[in-house]
């Protein structure tokens, strides 16, 4: 069953139940009140009847009787009884004589007043004494008007409830259909989106409800991420096939060339050196890819400990000094915090050494060993490292792809590299719950900002 049908049924049943319960409540309470009201009428007639019946012959009794006849409505089959009760009265005989229920007389004899209903006949009575004599004053009547009113009310309620239920059912189905129209539009649009036209997006109409608008925005954001992932995958496959294919082609070519005919030992040595060089390159790329995959896998267990970022920077600089003695790396200590706790983070030394070594090496390489400045600062919640170079920069249009494995900017053709260092560095920084931000301008330089949360006080103890 469709959700909109379920919703319509639920709304219809709920609304119909409320209307039916409300109508039955009105009928029930009015029915109960009508009995109470009718008994009050009978009791009033009993009191008036007792006044003029027990005091007959007096001016007051005549006045009361005339007043009663003139102003009190005559009830259906209304009858009055004045019954003298002797000490040995036979209630069965009295009941037969006056056509009254015997159990009513028995009950009235035990109470000052009593009332009951038998079928459509309502009876009320009271005991009165005049001197040493006992009298039962009884009034009976049929509740004709109230019953007719209740029958009329029942008919009105049945007709009204039926009409309301019909209207509710119609509006429930109409409401459920139209409330799902935007979702149906989204579903139809989504069905049109595939890998061939993943650039399509859902239209976000501001006149729609907030929930539908949020759903549309969320789905569009999902499509953006999927499209980015597709483009990244496409770019990765293209670059990986080139980077992996080049050394393999060279190795195969050297081997084939060497086997075409007998060679001198020097030629074999040269071929083996070329093959070894390309094999080492292939091995380096493979190891970098494996390490990149491991750092991107969040389920891998990595040991974290208390480390100082300034020490990581100095160790990384020492490594670059050995690899590239001509570098001009300057560590700016002017913003260094006085409190050493503001330099401590919870991290893995080897991974952080690798990350900062990659950044410093790139800064030196792509600036042709021009000055590179490293700033170290800290706030109350994080340590901040800024690495600035004066290199070739990155074209603005290509900044969005710098974290794609094997991607290299269009102006880096004269520099060696595999395009894995920066994606690996970002993965390492993310493992430390930090952020890496790169800004660049062609022929001006590149700024790399890294923010890593400080170690909590509980870890510093």
Q: What is the CATH number of the domain that holds 291?
A: 1.10.287.130
Q: Are residues 278 and 380 located together in one domain of the fold?
A: no
Confidence at residue 27, expressed as pLDDT on a 0 to 100 scale = 78
Q: Are residues 90 and 118 located together in one domain of the fold?
A: yes
Bridging pattern class, strands 121-130 and 133-142: antiparallel
Q: What pTM did the predictor assign?
A: 0.47
Please say whether the beta carbons of 416 and 324 come within 8 A: no
Is 211 a member of any domain?
no
pLDDT (mean) for 225-239: 64
Please say whether the beta carbons of 305 and 414 come within 8 A: no
- How many domains is the chain built from? 3
Q: Are residues 92 and 121 located together in one domain of the fold?
A: yes
Q: Are residues 397 and 422 located together in one domain of the fold?
A: yes
Q: What is the CATH number of the domain that holds 448?
A: 3.30.565.10
Q: Are residues 133 and 268 located together in one domain of the fold?
A: no
pLDDT (mean) for 46-65: 75
pLDDT (mean) for 368-393: 94
**String of DSSP letters for 87-153:** TT--HHHHHHHHT--HHHHHHHHTSSEEEEEETTEEEEEEEEEETTEEEEEEEEEE-HHHHHHHHHH
Is 174 a member of any domain?
no
Q: Are residues 386 and 354 located together in one domain of the fold?
A: yes
Confidence at residue 296, expressed as pLDDT on a 0 to 100 scale = 53
The tens digit of pLDDT for each residue in 40-50 reads 888 888 888 88
Is 454 a member of any domain?
yes
Q: Are residues 249 and 267 located together in one domain of the fold?
A: yes
Q: Which of 150, 174, 203 is the last residue of a domain?
A: 150
Q: Are residues 315 and 291 located together in one domain of the fold?
A: no
pLDDT for 461 beyond 60: no
pLDDT for 458 beyond 50: no
Q: Are residues 286 and 333 located together in one domain of the fold?
A: no
As a whole-number percent, the residues of the chain with pLDDT over 90 amount to 18
Residue 275 belongs to what domain range? 218-296
Is 252 a member of any domain?
yes
* Of the ranges 85-94, 178-187, 211-220, 275-284, the best mean pLDDT one: 85-94
Confidence at residue 388, expressed as pLDDT on a 0 to 100 scale = 95
Q: Are residues 312 and 425 located together in one domain of the fold?
A: yes
Residue 205 pLDDT grade (very low, low, confident, very high; cuts 50, 70, 90): low
The tens digit of pLDDT for each residue in 106-157 reads 888 888 898 988 877 889 999 888 888 888 989 888 877 666 777 787 888 8
Bridging pattern class, strands 382-388 and 372-378: antiparallel
Q: Are residues 243 and 372 located together in one domain of the fold?
A: no
HSE-up of 304 (CA within 13 Å, CB side)? 13
Is 12 a member of any domain?
yes
Q: Which helix (H) or strand (E) holds 270?
A: helix 265-296
Confidence at residue 395, expressed as pLDDT on a 0 to 100 scale = 92
Q: Are residues 107 and 244 located together in one domain of the fold?
A: no
pLDDT for 55 beyond 50: yes
Q: Which of 103, 129, 150 is the last residue of a domain?
A: 150
Is 182 a member of any domain?
no
Q: How far apart are CA 7 and CA 18, in angstroms?
A: 16
Instruction: Kindly state the tokens that stand for 79.
Output: 């009858």
Is 212 a member of any domain?
no
Q: Which helix (H) or strand (E) holds 445?
A: strand 445-453
Is 333 a member of any domain?
yes
Dihedrals φ, ψ of 124, to 5°?
-135, 140
Confidence at residue 384, expressed as pLDDT on a 0 to 100 scale = 95
Q: How far apart are CA 35 and CA 146, in angstroms?
A: 8
Q: Which of 150, 176, 193 is the last residue of a domain?
A: 150
């Amino acid at each position: 069953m469709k959700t909109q049908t379920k919703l319509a049924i639920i709304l219809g049943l709920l609304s119909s139940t409320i209307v039916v319960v409300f109508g039955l409540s009105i009928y029930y309470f009015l029915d109960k009140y009508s009995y109470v009201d009718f008994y009050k009428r009978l009791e009033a007639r009993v009191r008036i009847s007792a006044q003029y019946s027990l005091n007959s012959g007096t001016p007051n009794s005549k006045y009361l009787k005339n007043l009663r006849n003139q102003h009190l409505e005559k009830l259906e089959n209304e009858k009055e009884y004045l019954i003298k009760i002797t000490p040995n009265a036979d209630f069965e005989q009295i009941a037969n004589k006056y056509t009254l229920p015997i159990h009513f007389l028995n009950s009235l004899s035990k109470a000052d007043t009593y009332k009951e209903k038998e079928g459509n006949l309502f009876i009320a009575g009271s005991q009165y004494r005049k001197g040493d004599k006992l009298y039962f004053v009884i009034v009976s009547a049929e509740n004709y008007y109230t019953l007719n009113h209740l029958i009329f009310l029942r008919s009105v309620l049945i007709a009204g409830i039926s009409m309301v239920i019909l209207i509710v059912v119609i509006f429930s189905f109409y409401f459920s259909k139209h409330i799902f129209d935007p979702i149906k539009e989204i579903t139809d649009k989504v069905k049109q989106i595939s890998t061939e036209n993943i650039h399509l997006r859902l239209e976000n109409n501001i006149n729609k409800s907030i929930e539908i608008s949020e759903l549309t925005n969320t789905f569009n954001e999902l499509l953006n991420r999927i499209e980015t992932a597709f483009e990244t995958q496409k770019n990765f496959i293209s670059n990986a096939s080139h980077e992996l294919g080049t050394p393999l082609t060279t190795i195969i070519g050297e081997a084939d060339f060497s086997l075409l005919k007998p060679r001198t030992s020097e030629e074999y040595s040269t071929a083996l050196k070329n093959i070894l060089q390309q094999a080492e390159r292939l091995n380096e790329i493979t190891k970098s890819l494996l390490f990149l995959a491991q750092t991107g896998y969040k389920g891998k267990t990595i040991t974290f400990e208390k480390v100082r970022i300034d020490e990581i920077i100095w160790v990384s600089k020492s490594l670059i000094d050995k690899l590239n003695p001509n570098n001009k790396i300057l560590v700016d200590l002017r913003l260094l915090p006085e409190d050493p706790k503001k330099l401590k983070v919870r991290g893995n030394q080897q991974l952080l050494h690798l990350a900062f070594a990659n950044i410093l090496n790139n800064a030196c390489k792509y600036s042709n060993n021009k000055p590179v400045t490293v700033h170290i600062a800290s706030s109350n919640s994080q340590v901040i490292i800024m690495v600035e170079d004066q290199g070739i920069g990155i074209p603005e249009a290509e900044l969005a792809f710098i974290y794609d494995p094997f991607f290299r900017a269009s102006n880096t053709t004269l520099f060696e590299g595999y395009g894995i260092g920066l994606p690996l560095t970002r993965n390492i920084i993310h493992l430390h719950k930090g952020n890496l931000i790169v800004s660049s301008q062609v022929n001006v330089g590149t700024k790399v900002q890294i923010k890593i949360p400080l170690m909590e006080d509980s870890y510093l103890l």
